[in-house]
Amino acid sequence: MDVYAQMVEALFSAAHASSHFKAFEHFYFHNCIYSKVYTDMQMGKWIPTEELFRKFRKSFYVVMVGDACMNPYELFVPNGIINYWETEKEAGINWLKRVKDHYSASVWLNPEPEHFWNSHPTIQAISKIFKMYPLSLQGLSNSMKDLKRGKIHIPNITSYSTST
């Protein structure tokens, strides 16, 4: 995802400067959301993910930005987080489901070429939780239209298996 950092920063800056949003907040994560998200790109400052659930109403739109490519172990296995100094009791996929369960109006913008999405197991798994759009002006526009129309529905996200 490092190769897309400049593009994502430009997206955040444009969104923050825009008058289209009543409120705009952005947070960082590496590969997957776990029990905390970061408030700075260097990932030195963080807040608990559960605090986001308390702080922001369920009606907020959530736009996740990431390539969704990681070692499947990191997504599907408890303590699969790649940060050597951290542990996570739950698999990353469970945290992503929590985000989607809490913020049903949420989407995922992916900078990877769409033809690659079906060939990578973690992109496939994440796209079963979040409706995925390309990280492009058209993808952003389509995702916003669908969010506003309430057309974001992924069937049966709670039945997704995390067994390895």
User: Which residues are CB-contacts of 146 (< 8 A; sequence separation ≥ 6)?
Assistant: 107, 131, 152
Strand partners, 63: 107
- Residue 35 · residue 50 · CB < 8 Å: yes
Q: What is the pLDDT of residue 162?
A: 37
pLDDT at 164: 35
Structure-token pair, residue 150: 């309430």
Q: What is the pTM of this model?
A: 0.82
Q: What is the structure's pLDDT at 137?
A: 81
Report the pLDDT value the prediction gives residue 80, as an integer from 0 to 100.
77
In this prediction, residue 83 carries a pLDDT of 72
pLDDT confidence of residue 160: 37
Element spanning 72, H or E: helix 72-76
* Averages of pLDDT over each 10 residues, the chain, 164 residues: 67 61 79 91 90 92 92 89 77 95 94 93 96 90 87 49 36
Which pair of structure tokens corresponds to residue 134?
A: 């390309």
E strand residue ranges, 62-164: 62-65, 106-110, 131-134
